[in-house]
Amino acid sequence: MKGSLFDAFLDLVYPPFHPCPHCRKSGVPIEGEETALCARCFYAFPFLTAEERPEGVESLAHYRQSAQSLVHRLKYKEGLYLARPMAKLMVKKLDLHHHDLVIPVPMHRRRQKQRGYNQADLLARQIASMEELEYESTVLTRIRETAPMYQLNRLQRIQNMWDSIVVREDCLHRVQNQKILLVDDIYTTGATTQACIRQLTEAGAAEVTVATFAVADA
Ligand SMILES: [Zn+2]
């Protein structure tokens, strides 16, 4: 879904004040702010230092406390509007310029069907619009349901992912020689992003940088 209908919807549900997504303090201003959190929660926001970021990954925070609350609330319809302030903070704190194309990490088909949207897509769309970069939502796609990850060892997990994520045939020309910014909400084992990077590189991408809101602690 590219374009204005969805953006108009986001604008419509974007409130001037809301309860803090972490501590639920009411009446927190959001429009024009650099964060959706109340001042106290933002003060304690678990920022990652540059050294704490996984190699090749631009990420804001540890996946805990207020960062966890934000990511969690983005997964529910009432929290859709948080995509904008979350992306705003990523754009402000991370080096996300100098790319040609922004794309989201695809979600499991079944999960996306249940939820109706992919939260990585919401972030990617907002980042692209703020940085004035090209954006494509479905360059990468999942071709089959992957086995439950908890049943697999690390190598099997990676293999499982490689088999399931592909660059869509009709999008190959969009990827070639492009510097790509690959966006997800959380970086966990890295298996998913590695699978995406591999597929994009094989399809001819010049460079792939990963950007996530949070990193789950190992
Ligand atoms: Zn708060």
Please state the three-class secondary structure of 148-171 as a single string.
CHHHCCHHHHHHHHHHHEEECHHH
Structure confidence at residue 46 (pLDDT):
97
Number of H helices, E strands in the chain: 9, 9
Average pLDDT on 113-119 reads 82
More confident residue, 4 or 93: 93
How many angstroms is it from 62 CA to the middle of ligand 1?
17
How many angstroms is it from 25 CA to the middle of ligand 1?
6
Average pLDDT on 137-161 reads 73
How many angstroms is it from 41 CA to the middle of ligand 1?
4
- pLDDT tens by residue, 76-97: 888 888 999 999 999 999 999 8
* pTM of the shown model: 0.86
Backbone angles phi, psi at 175, to 5 degrees: -95, -30
How many angstroms is it from 36 CA to the middle of ligand 1?
9
Its domain, for residue 153, covers: 4-215
DSSP β-ladder status, 140-142 and 101-104: unpaired
Q: What's the token pair of residue 141? A: 């796609």
pLDDT band at 143 (very low <50, low <70, confident <90, very high): confident
Average pLDDT on 103-109 reads 87
Coil/strand/helix, residue 79: helix
How many angstroms is it from 206 CA to the middle of ligand 1?
41
pLDDT band at 1 (very low <50, low <70, confident <90, very high): very low
CA nearest neighbour of 90 among 68, 66, 60: 60
How many angstroms is it from 115 CA to the middle of ligand 1?
26
How many angstroms is it from 113 CA to the middle of ligand 1?
31
Position 101 pLDDT exceeds 90: yes
Position 199 pLDDT exceeds 60: yes
CATH number at residue 170: 3.40.50.2020
| CB distance 156 to 121 below 8 Å | no
Domain count, the chain: 1
The helix (run of H) or strand (run of E) holding residue 54 is none
- Of all residues in the chain, the percent with pLDDT exceeding 90 is 58
How many angstroms is it from 42 CA to the middle of ligand 1?
7
How many angstroms is it from 128 CA to the middle of ligand 1?
28
CA nearest neighbour of 77 among 13, 32, 5, 4: 13
pLDDT band at 2 (very low <50, low <70, confident <90, very high): very low
Average pLDDT over the chain reads 87
How many angstroms is it from 38 CA to the middle of ligand 1?
4
How many angstroms is it from 44 CA to the middle of ligand 1?
9
- Please spell the DSSP secondary structure of 108-158, one letter per residue: PHHHHHHHSS-HHHHHHHHHHHHHT-EE-S-SEEE-SPPPPGGGS-HHHHH
How many angstroms is it from 72 CA to the middle of ligand 1?
15
